[in-house]
Amino acid sequence: MHAGTEGHPARDDEQEVTIAAEVFGLLAEPTRIRIILALQGGELSVGALAQAVAKSPTVVSQHLAKLRWGQVVRARHDGNRVFYALVDEHAAQLVTQAVYQAQHIVDEHPSHHGSRP
């Protein structure tokens, strides 16, 4: 094995690249992005998520099922209620970075860079 970029070892990454493309596809939907942003603050019920993303609970549940399939969110049952949380910080970081990139497109001096000159 020879060294890759930034000191990481090079490897046969075909499977990882394919899965990464699937993750980007899974995240390439505005409601799912809003769900992930809402879950950055901690776990929420379907009803709370529906309110946060301004969609019906049925629509949110459908998106949550896809995010669960992609292992982006996990469910916790408490009686007859289900609460969702992010599995880890990685999807949230991807979404945050994508939002930052979008801010660059709509604003020459995006707010995530601090105060304006």
Q: Which domains does the chain have, with CATH numbers?
A: 15-111 (1.10.10.10)
Position with higher pLDDT, 104 vs 4: 104
The confidence score (pLDDT) of residue 36 equals 96
Q: What Å distances lie between residue 102 and 27, 61, 77, 96, CA to CA?
A: 14, 26, 35, 10
User: What pLDDT is recorded for position 11?
Assistant: 62
Quick one: pLDDT at residue 79? 93
Q: How many CA atoms lie within 13 A of 87 on its CB side?
A: 11
Considering only residues 115 and 19, tell me which one the structure prediction assigns the higher pLDDT: 19
**Tokens representing residue 10 in the block:** 């090079």
pLDDT in tens, 16-63: 999 889 999 999 999 999 999 999 999 999 999 999 999 999 999 999
Q: Note the pLDDT tens digit of each residue in 65-99.
A: 999 999 999 999 999 999 999 999 998 898 888 88
Chain centroid, CA 111 distance in Å: 20
Q: Looking at the whole model, is its pTM more than 0.85?
A: no
